[in-house]
Structure 1
Amino acid sequence: MKEKKDSVQKLFVPDIGGNADIQPYFLASDGEIDKSIIDNLDSDVIILDKDLNIVLMNKSAERTFGVSFHEVKGTNYLALRLRSIEQELARNLNNVLKTKKAFTIKELQIISPDKVTHFFDQSCIPILDGGGVLQGVLSISKDVTKRVYKEIQYQESQKMLKALFQELEVKNTTIRSLQTSLRERYSFHSLIGKSYLMQNIYDLIEKVSQTDSTVLITGETGTGKELVARAIHYNSHRKDYNLVAVNCAALPETLLESELFGHVKGSFTGAIRDKKGKFELADKGTIFLDEIGELSIPTQVKLLRVLQERYIERVGDEKTIKVDIRIIAATNQDILELIEKGTFRKDLFYRLNIISIRLPSLKERTDDIPLLVNHFIEKFNIRFKKNINGISPNALRKLLAYSWPGNIRELEGVIEKAVLLEESETIENIELPTDHSATTNLCLPKPLNAGPDISSYEDLQKRLDMLEREYFVSVFQKHHGRIGSIAACTGLNRRTILNKMKKFSLKKSLFK
C-alpha cells in the first residue's frame, strides 16, 4: 500500500525581492508546494499555520531538529527552539503575522539534540491564500555554522596577530634600547682616560670606524684591546651585524681551523653535521682575532687568503664561500720579533698592519688612574650594593706609585677587592701584589701631608696634579735634569717624561 502523500493547498507567496537570502525556488508557478521536492533541498523548509503550528517539514529540517515530521506535525514551532532565542523568534514571527512582510535573521543560534551548536540564516515569509488572507508562515533556514566558525576563527586570529604585533613592537623597542645601550657603552667616548695618549687613540678610532680597513691592535695584556675593537665596530656602519670575538690562544690547534672556517659533515672524527665557522658567523659584521700571534703557519696561510680574496673554505669542503667582513686583530707580542723567529709570516703582517693602534700601558698613562679608579668604584658599588664615595689620598698615592704589570685589568681587580672589603665610605686600604720592580726602581719623594679628605673630584684632580708635580720636581732635582737617568729611575719612556715637563713647565736648565 502506497504511503499517502502529504500535500498542501495552493499557496501564494508575495515577492520578497532581495530581502531574503534563500528564495522559495521550489514553488511551482501556481504556488503549489510538493514535499518530495523540498525533501531534496539542503535548506531547512518548514511551513507553519497562522498559529505557528508545524504544517510541513522537509528532511533537512528533520535532521536539524532530530525529529520526524509525523512526530511534530501540529506541534508549535517555537517548542523546537532554544529557550534563549524563543522570545526573539516569537517576536519576529508575530511581526510577520501582523505585517504580512518577510524578515531575515542572520546567524540564528540553535543547539541540536546532541548538544552541538549550529548557526542558521533564516528567512520567514508570509503565506497568503487567493484572497490575500494570511494562512501561515514559510520558514527557510540555511546552516551557516562553518561560515560563522570561520569568521570567529578569523576574528580570533586577527586578535592574536594584533597581540603578537604589539608584543613584537615591545621586543623591538627593547632590542633598540639595548642596541643603543651597547653603542653608548662601547663608543670610543666611553673609553676611560683623558691623557693625551688616549685622546690620540680616540681620534684614531673615530677615523678608522668610518672605513673597512683591517686593523692591528697591539699592547700589553690588560690594556683594553678588545674594548677598542668593540668601539670601532659599534661606531661603524657594521654596528647592526655581529661582532664575533675569537681568542686564538684559547683554542687547541686541532680545533682552531674548524672554529675559524667551519667544517662539513664527515670531514673528521666527530664532525656529525655541517658547522659554520666564526668567519661565516661574522658575515657583514666584524671578526676580532685576539692573540693573533698564536696562530700556526698553516692557519696563517688560510687567513692570508681570506684577507686577500674574502673567501673561505670549510674543513673538508672544496667549495668556496664569500664573506663580507671587517677583520680586527690584536696581540700582546712583538710581531716583528716573531717574524725574525720564523713563527709569523711577514706577508700576513703587512696585510694585517694596514692601520696600527698601539695601546699604552697603564704605567704610561698614570694621569688616567684617578678616572679609572672612580669608574671602577661606581661599577662595583652597583654590583656589591655599596656606597663608597671615593678613595683617600694615601691610598691613591699607593696606586700611582705601583708599576701595574697587569695594566687596567689588574687595577680593576684591586679596586673590586677594595670596594668589597671596605667598611667606611672612603677606600682607605689598598692591597697590591708584591712588586719588587716597583719598590726598587720607583724614585718617590717622602710622603706629603695630603691634608683632609677630598670632597670633590675637582679637588682630587688639583691635589693629584700638585702631588705629581712635586714628585717630578724631586726626581729632576735628584738626577739634575738628565732625561735618561730619570727614565731609568721611574720606568717611564722619554716621550712620557717630555710630556710631563711640558705639563708642569719643567726645564732641564733649572736642575743642573
Structure 2
Amino acid sequence: MSHKKQLFDNTTILESISDGVFSVDHNWKITSFNRATEEITGVKRTDALGSYCSEVFRSSLCGEHCALRETLKTGKPIIDKGCHFINSGGKKIPVSLSTAVLKDDLGNVIGGAETFRDISEIEALKQQLSKQVKSGPLTSQSPSMASVQAVLEAVSETSATLLIMGETGTGKEVTAKTVHQLSNRSKQPFIAVNCATLPENLLESTLFGHVKGAFTGAYENKLGYFARANGGTLFLDEIGDISGALQVRLLRVLQEREFEPVGSNKPQKTDVRIITATNKNLSQLVSQDKFREDLYYRLNVITINLPTLAQRFEDIPFLVDHFIRRFNKLHKRTIKGITAEALLKLQSYTWPGNIRELENSIERACILSKNSEIQLSSFPFICNENTALDTPKIEVKESLGSNRDELEKQVIIDALKNNKSKIATAKALGIHKTTLFRKMKKYNIAF
C-alpha cells in the first residue's frame, strides 16, 4: 500500500469516529484536527491548525498538569483521564481523554496525539442522581422503584407486619432497615437474623431465648432476639426456610404478641415489629404443604416486591459512587471514580447477583485498580460477555429524560432491519433484550 493511500485511509478513519482526535508537534502547535473535535469544541479546523493547543482547548489540565506533556516526557500513554475544557461558546465541556506519543515511519518522535470523549451526559446524570429524594439508606432514581418507595413511606408510620420479596442480593435487609429508620421505632433496636444459616434448635434459642438447664450447655438464662428487640424491629430473612415447628411458634407471636423461652412455660410479652423476607414463592410453598397457610396470611399483611438491579439500571451510577466512597474509607484507597465507558457497560450488564454482586465487584475493583479511576478492564466478566463494543447511549438518554425519542425510535427501527432479529438487535445496541422489548412497546414498533 502506498504512503498516499495509507494517509487517505487513516484520514477517513479519523473523520468517521465519534471521539475527538488531534495531534501536536514539538512546538505544541496543532497538526491535525478531526471532524468530531470540530463539533465538540465548536472551533473550525482551519482556525485550529497551526494554533497552540492551549489556545483552542483552554483545558483544566493545560500547563504543568498537561496529560500530553506528561506522555511526551515519559513515553507512557495516559488512558481515560477526566478533565474539562471551555468550548468556543464559553461552555464547560467535561471530557475523558487518552494520550499517546506520535512517531514517524523511522520511529522518531514527532509530537503527540490525544483522543477525547464528551461525557456531558454522564456528568448530567451524576448531577441528577445527586438531587434525588432519599428514603433513609434506600435511595433510587428508577421508575421501577417508585411503587416500593411509596409503600415504604406509608408503611413506615405503622407497626404492620411486612413481607419483602425479591431475588438474592436485591437489598431486602436494606429495605427493612429503611422501614425501621423511618418509623417511630428508629431509636430502638433493629436486629436481623438469617433463618437459613442456623440449625432449627439454635435458631429457636436465638429467637426466643432459653432458661438455665433447658438443654445441655444452657448454663444460664439467655435473652432471645424477641426480648432484645423489644420496642424495635426484628428482621427475619429467608423466612421460607424455617421448620414447621418454628412456624407454629412464630404464628403465636404474631397472634398473641407473646412467646415462651426454650425450657420455660411462662409467657413473655413482646412489642416487636416483625419484617420478614424471602426469595422463595411462599404461596407455592403453601400449596405444597411446606409453609403454613395461616402464617403466610399473617406475614403477608403488606408485601414489597423488589425489582432486580437490571430493572433499576438508573441507580447503578449512584450505587457505584456510594460503594467507591465506602471502600475507599474501608481499604484506605483514593479511587476518584469510574470511567464513562465502564459505567455505561455496568448499566447494560444483567447482574444475576443483583446489588450484592455489584458491591462485590466494586470492592474488588477498588482494591486491585492501579489507576485513579476504575477501568472497564476491572470487570472481566463484562469484558468477556458477547456484547457490542458500542456504549449503550440509548439508556443514558432515557435516564436523563431526553426528548430525543424520535431519534431513538429510528435507531431501533434501523437496527432491527439490519440485524433481522430482536436478540441480535439488543446485542448490537449494547442493551438487555428486555430493555429493547420495553422500548419497542413504548414506540409501538412492530417487528
Tell me how large the CA RMSD over aligned residues is. Answer: 3.4
| 1:364–1:492 contact (8 Å) kept in structure 2 | no
Residue by residue over 1:176-212, the C-alpha shift from the partner in whole angstroms, topping out at 9 and shown as x without a partner, is: xxxxxxxxxxx72442320012233222111111001
For 1:331, the equivalent position in structure 2 comes to 278
User: Does 2:368 align with 1:421?
Assistant: yes
Shift of 1:430: 3.8
Q: 1:452-499, CA deviations, whole angstroms, 9 ceiling, x for partnerless residues?
A: xxxxxxxx9669758x9888865565557xxx96799676658x954x
Letter in 2 for 1:239: S
What secondary structure sits across from 2:223 in the alignment?
Answer: coil
Asked whether the 8 Å contact 1:392–1:427 carries over to 2, the reply is yes
Kept after mapping to 2: 8 A contact 1:479/1:486: no
Q: What amino acid does structure 1 have at the position aligned with 2:444?
A: K
Within-5 A mapping of 1:430-441: 430-432=377-379, 434=381, 439=385
Q: 1:284 offset after TM fit, Å? A: 1.2
Q: Which residue of 1 aligns with 2:197?
A: 250
Whole-Å separation in 1 of the counterparts to 2:307 and 2:202: 33
Give the alignment of 1:440-451 within 5 angstroms.
445=388, 447=390
1:445–1:474 contact (8 Å) kept in structure 2? no
Q: Which runs of 5+ in 2 are unaligned?
A: 1-133
TM-aligned CA distance change 1:261 to 1:375, over 3 Å: same
| 1:358 equivalent in alignment to 2:305 | yes
CA distance in 2, matches of 1:449, 1:211: 42
Indicate whether 1:286 and 2:233 are aligned: yes
1:300-337 Cα offsets, whole Å, 9 max, x none, are 01101111110101112111111111100011112122
> 1:309 corresponds to which residue?
256
The 5 A counterparts of 1:34-183 are none
For residue 425 of structure 1, report the CA deviation from its aligned partner: 2.3
**Could you list the per-position Cα deviations for residues 75-125 of structure 1 after superposition, in whole angstroms to 9, with x for gaps in the alignment?**
xxxxxxxxxxxxxxxxxxxxxxxxxxxxxxxxxxxxxxxxxxxxxxxxxxx
Distance 1:449 1:270, change over 3 A: closer
Deviation at 1:376, TM superposition (A): 1.5
Which letter maps to 1:324?
Answer: D
Aligned length: 303
SS at match of 1:350: helix
Query: Corresponding residue for 2:338?
Result: 391
Are the aligned partners of 2:189 and 2:233 in contact in 1 as well (CA < 8 Å)? Answer: yes
Q: Report if the CA contact (8 A) 1:475-1:486 is conserved.
A: no
- 1:212 is the counterpart of 2:159: yes
1:265 equivalent to 2:208? Answer: no
Counterparts of 2:240 and 2:382, CA distance in 1:
28
The separation in 2 between residues aligned to 1:345 and 1:385, in whole angstroms, is: 49
Checking the alignment, whether the CA contact within 8 Å between 1:246 and 1:289 is kept in structure 2 is yes
The one-letter amino acid of 1:354's match is V
State the shift of 1:405 in Å: 1.0
Q: Which residue of 2 aligns with 1:194?
A: 141
In structure 2, what residue type is equivalent to 1:411?
L
Match of 1:174? none
Give the 3 Å change call, closer, same or farther, for CA 374–472 of structure 1 in structure 2: farther
Distance in structure 2 (CA, Å) of the matches to 1:314 and 1:461: 55
Task: Answer yes or no: is the 8 Å Cα contact 2:282–2:291 preserved in 1.
Answer: yes
One of 400, 407, 423 as aligned partner of 2:347: 400
The 3-state SS of whatever aligns with 1:220 is coil
Identity of aligned residues (%): 45
Structure 1 alignment gaps of length 5 or more: 1-186, 451-459
SS of equivalent residue, structure 2 residue 376: coil
Would the alpha carbon gap of residues 312 and 476 (structure 1) be closer, same or farther in structure 2, given more than 3 Å must change?
Answer: farther
The correspondence for 1:344, drawn from 276, 279, 291, is 291
Partners in 2 of 1:508 and 1:449 — Cα distance?
Answer: 21
1:405–1:472 Cα change, 3 Å: farther
Deviations 1:393-422 (A, max 9, x none): 222233223211111111111111212222
Alignment of 1:234 with 2:181, yes or no, is yes
Q: Secondary structure at 2:222's aligned position in 1?
A: coil
- SS of the equivalent of 1:508 reads coil
Residue 443 of structure 2 corresponds to 507
Separation (CA, whole Å) in 2 of partners of 1:288 and 1:476: 48
Alpha-carbon shift at residue 424 of structure 1 (Å): 2.3
In the aligned structure 2, how far is the partner of 1:317 from the partner of 1:247?
Answer: 24
Equivalent position of 2:100 in the other structure: none
Higher relative contact order (CA 8 A, sep 6+): 2
| Cα pair distance change 1:337/1:478, threshold 3 Å | farther
Q: Take 2:398 and 2:337, find their aligned partners in 1: how far apart are those partners?
A: 14
Output the amino acid matched with 1:312. Answer: F
Residue 343 of structure 1 aligns to a residue whose secondary structure is: coil
Q: TM-score, normalised by structure 2?
A: 0.60
For normalisation by structure 1, the TM-score amounts to 0.53
